[in-house]
Amino acid sequence: MDGYLAGFGSGVHNRITDVVSTVFLVPEESSVTKQEFAEKLAGKTDISKAKAMDVIDAIFSTKPGHGIVAVELDGGRDFTVTGFGTFKTRRTKARMGRNPQTGATIHISARKSVSFRAGKGLKDRVRD
């Protein structure tokens, strides 16, 4: 991860796990926006809001070749943030399904999907 965040100052990547695990658990609204995430990240670290947006994009972007999580998943690797959780890709088999409007039998192709499994730290925090 050092290569991805080299331009963001020392220690930023060491604080990301703590920030991500606390930011997503703030009960202010039903969903935290990217803008709010950047504000909270900037407030908990020694970086500007603009730099925080750059960090968020470096981690979560879905543009081909950009976001760390997406690049690793594309490469067939799981992405684990200890205590927070694990992102994985799964293969679903081709199967037969039914069109809910017409009742006709349809073929559903095999595909890859992304799954997330919460880590112990996140589960414990949410349960309390």
pLDDT tens sequence for the chain (128 residues): 445 555 555 455 556 655 565 555 545 568 999 999 999 999 999 999 999 999 999 999 999 989 999 999 999 999 999 999 999 999 999 999 999 999 999 999 999 999 999 999 999 999 97
Domain identity same for 91 and 45: no
Residue 74: inside a domain: no
Question: What's the whole-model pTM score?
Answer: 0.65
Domain identity same for 55 and 1: yes
What is the CA 74 to chain-centroid distance, rounded?
A: 14
Q: What pLDDT, on the 0 to 100 scale, is given for residue 20?
A: 61
Residue 3: inside a domain: yes
> Residue type for 19, please?
V
What is the tally of structural domains in the chain?
Answer: 2
Q: What pLDDT, on the 0 to 100 scale, is given for residue 128?
A: 75
> Residue type for 5, please?
L
Residue 72: inside a domain: no
Residue 113: inside a domain: yes
- What gap in Å lies between CA 73 and CA 4, rounded to an integer? 16
Residue 50: inside a domain: yes
Residue 124: inside a domain: yes
Give the domain extent around 17.
1-60
Query: Measuring CA to CA, which residue among 21, 8, 4, 3 is closest to residue 82?
Result: 21
Alpha carbon separation from 57 to 3, 38, 42 (Å, rounded): 15, 10, 14
Residue 13: inside a domain: yes
Q: What pLDDT, on the 0 to 100 scale, is given for residue 78?
A: 96
